Chains A and B, each alone.
Chain A
Amino acid sequence: MESGCDRERLCDFAFDELAAPARAEMERHLAGCAACATELAQLQLTTAALRVLPDREIPQRIAFVSDKLFQPSPVVRFFSSFWNSGARLAFASACVLAAAIVFSAYRRPAETQSHPQSVVTAGMTRDELSHEMDARINKAVSDAVARVHQEDARVTKAALESADRKAEQQRRELMVAMGEQMNTLQKRLGVLTEYAMAGPERNAGTGQ
């Protein structure tokens, strides 16, 4: 063998265990090294001879896991099938719902204590409570109606004011137009009067 020959790397090459760069390098080396090429050929011949012995068929199938002996217990199978079914989702949903109910139940009294007004109402009789509620409702309705009336009045007043402004504007424009027409008529009347008065003097002049 030449210097640079590496039997281990040659074997790695034969079993396709070299990375691409090392493989390319070995191919270049083999092209110029007859000793390594011969060694590789012998190695390939040996492995080919070993593969003459084929795999044998197994005389008996191995399927023991199907036997009930090796299966999980009925309890384990029940829980396994349970967790692998749609019931898991339903169960999880029920757990979330139950947790929400419990949380709500524990949280509600704390909320009522935080409102003193509710404590006062809790001491009232049913009629008093009803009366109080009616009064509150009536007051709320009255307030709402008053607010609506107030808003209506404001809108109506604004509309009237706007209409007044428009009418005043139109009246002024009409007065201006009438004044202009009066001026025009007066000017025409003046012209006609002058023409009428100048007529006899013109006739006397032509009779001389």
Chain B
Amino acid sequence: MIFRAVEDADLIVRARRGDVEAFNLLVSRWEKRVFNYLLRLTGSPDDSLDLSQDVFLKAYQNIRKLDDPARFGPWLFRIAHNEACSDFRKRRPEPHEDAAALADREAAPGIALDLSLAVSTALDRLTAEQREAVVLKVYQGFKFEEIAEILGAPVSTVKSRLYTALGLLKEELAPANKRGTK
């Protein structure tokens, strides 16, 4: 666990009193996670950055409505989820950069490109709901209850989406895994 001199809950209390710097510190702690969450939903860095901006603006405007400061993470991702859904509804689906280009840029040094490409392709084949469940669980590390809170769905539904998605990904990635582990 990373030690933090000031906990998020303290920053939230200060932000509620109008301390802008406290909220800026919260933004710096969470902006990368929110951006990557939105990036994996939209596939577009520009859209994700714009949406991230909107997410933090709404969070700032509604910080006093947050009942429990300890639930800031799920509350923030709930806003991000709503912003992403709203964005999907507003605009027609535009062709984002294809999975190959995304994988090319996301691939970590030393990792086989074909595995990264296979992962990106496999994620793209999931439904939006399945992909979001995978992103929140595997990449963001939220608990099932927190994911249910973010998505506004029962825990059983979240689990169902995730396990179905993992089953599909297992089938999709099996050949790539074999190559990647060789």
Is A62's CB under 8 angstroms from B56's CB? Answer: yes
Tell me the bound Cα distance from A15 to B162 in angstroms. 11
The answer to whether B27 touches A54, judged by C-beta atoms less than 8 angstroms apart, is: no
Would you give the shortest CB distance from A135 to chain B, in whole angstroms? Answer: 66
In the complex, B35 has a CB within 8 A of chain A? yes
In the bound complex, residues from chain A placing their C-beta under 8 Å from that of B138 are 47, 50-51
Q: How far is the CB of A14 from chain B (nearest CB, A)?
A: 9
Interface string of A38-58 (1 = CB under 8 A from B): 000011011101111111111
Q: How far is the CA of A85 from the CA of B176 in the complex (A)?
A: 62
Give the contacting residue for A59; candidates B45, B57, B116; CB below 8 A.
B45
Is B143's CB under 8 angstroms from A56's CB? no
CB distance from B58 to the nearest CB of A (A): 12
Contact segment of A19-27, A66-74, A195-203: A66-74
- Known contacts A46-B173, A66-B24; A53 and B57 CB within 8 A of each other: no
Does B28 contact A15, Cβ atoms closer than 8 Å? Answer: no
How many chain B residues touch A (CB < 8 A): the figure is 49
CB distance from B108 to the nearest CB of A (A): 5
Whether the pair B134, A58 counts as a contact (CB closer than 8 A) is no
B136-173 vs A, CB cutoff 8 Å, 1 = contact: the mask equals: 01110001100000000000000100110010011001
Question: Are B39 and A11 interface neighbours, CB within 8 A?
Answer: no
Pairwise interchain contact B20-A65, C-beta atoms closer than 8 A: yes
- Shortest Cβ distance from residue B105 to the other chain A in the assembled complex, whole angstroms: 8
Partner of A49, one of B36, B139, B159, B176: B176
CA–CA, A151 to B17, complex, Å? 71
Q: Please tell me if A204 contacts chain B, counting CB pairs below 8 Å.
A: no
A15 touches B137 (CB 8 A): yes
Looking at the complex, which of A76-84, A96-104, A115-123, A140-148 is the stretch in contact with chain B?
A76-84
- Cross-chain contact A52 with B119 (CB below 8 angstroms): yes
Contact B134 A50 (CB under 8 A): yes
Q: B83 an interface residue at 8 Å Cβ cutoff?
A: no
Partner of A76, one of B18, B35, B49: B18
9 nearest A-B residue pairs (beta carbon): A80-B18, A58-B35, A55-B36, A46-B170, A62-B31, A53-B106, A54-B108, A49-B173, A50-B138
13 pairs, A vs B, C-beta closer than 8 Å: A15-B144, A45-B181, A49-B119, A51-B139, A52-B107, A55-B139, A58-B32, A58-B52, A59-B45, A64-B56, A65-B24, A70-B57, A76-B18
**4 more A-B contacts (CB under 8 A) besides A53-B116, A65-B27?**
A15-B144, A46-B170, A51-B138, A56-B45
